[in-house]
Amino acid sequence: MPGIVECVPNVSEGRRLDVIDGLARVITATLGVRLLDRTSDPDHNRSVFTFAGEPDAVERAALALIDATYKAVDMRGHKGEHPRLGAVDVVPFVPLAGVTMAECVALAHRVGAAVAATHHVPVFYYANAATRPDRVRLPDIRKPEYEGLAAFLETTHVPDEGPRTLHPSAGAIVIGARPPLIAFNIELDTTDLKLAQRIAKEIRESSGGLPAIQAKGFMLTDPPRAQVSMNLLDHTVTSLPRVWQEVESRANAAGVRVLRGELIGLLPLDAALAAAGAALKLDGLVRDRVIEARFLE
């Protein structure tokens, strides 16, 4: 069976549908790659594409998408709720089948070197592809954001590849290799941004909260409501039901109800089964109890 790699690039454009459609077409035009999902958010002004295929095809698609994005997105006019460093903010490669993490690290480094050489954009490596311990966590790299990064490119943020000057329209890019993660948001029935930020701080690992959880509080506009936005870095360590419970209990304690959850991109089948099992109070709901999974296996 050929090896399969997933790529989940995050692009700093979530409002212009014609541009987003064009970027999706760039991916689907790459032979050997399948576009699995696309999610856009106008408040975050961000789109997340999920595609997969054999490593060589995924590498070609990632480079083609980066090239197309740099032609279509200019960071000098970009505004959005989500932290970001560049037009293509982050490009993770995820081993799915028949591919090792080490091979995805090598793939990330090849793509990073190509982007730096072709586009003269600062490149940072993160997660398993990080070259230094202070760049394993994406938030640590992204903290200055696009507007503040230029001042740090000669000090704390010397890039792993490319120039020590910020590209005016493309910004910078973060590329890495990691296990599957779940991007999951919970919307609150309130416009109290401070409440969402407090809940996010209490539950994220870096503040002493739940292990393998990253979280931030945001304000959405249509309609106005606060959001707790999260990355579950390892759903076997902290599950979706646990995250929901922790956010909901804190919101309810403040007299606020939870409106809904939002999944960005895709999630592993085992994570969905764990969530369904918890909701239905079913013990032993695993993939061999799912009809389609039995056929696929």
Tokens of 266: 């895709």
In tens, the pLDDT along 22-65 reads: 999 999 999 999 999 999 999 999 999 999 999 999 999 999 99
Would you state the structure tokens that stand for residue 104, as one six-digit string? 């995805």
The rounded radius of gyration (Å) of the Cα atoms in the chain is: 19
Task: Tell me the whole-structure pTM to 2 decimals.
Answer: 0.88
Whether 168 shows a pLDDT value over 90: the answer reads yes
The predicted pLDDT at position 2 comes to: 77
Please give the DSSP secondary-structure letter assigned to residue 26: H
Active-site hit among 44, 78, 82, 167 = 82
Tokens of 188: 């609150």
DSSP single-letter state for residue 204: S
How many alpha carbons fall within 13 Å on the CB side of residue 218?
22
pLDDT attached to residue 289: 86
Structure tokens at 118: 């072709």
Residue 297: the pLDDT is 60
* CA dist., res. 126 & res. 133, Å (int): 9
Q: What is the mean pLDDT of residues 75-86?
A: 95
Residue type (1 letter), 107: L
Question: Any catalytic annotation for residue 157?
Answer: no
For 119-131, give the DSSP string.
H---EEEEETT-S
pLDDT, tens digit, 9 for 90 and up, residues 243-274: 999 999 999 999 999 999 999 988 998 999 99
Predicted confidence (pLDDT) at residue 280 exceeds the cutoff of 70: yes
CB 229 within 8 A of CB 200: yes
Q: How many residues can be counted in the chain?
A: 297
Dist. CA 199–CA 230, nearest whole Å: 11
Ramachandran category for residue 70: left, alpha or beta (phi over 0 → left; psi -120 to 50 → alpha): alpha
Q: Residue 206 corresponds to which amino acid? A: S
Q: For 91-137, where are the alpha helices, taking DSSP H only? A: 101-119
Share of the chain above pLDDT 70, in %: 99
Go through the domains of the chain in sequence order and give each one's CATH number: 4-177 (3.30.990.10), 182-296 (3.30.70.670)
DSSP 230: E
| Separation CA 11–CA 139 (nearest Å) | 16
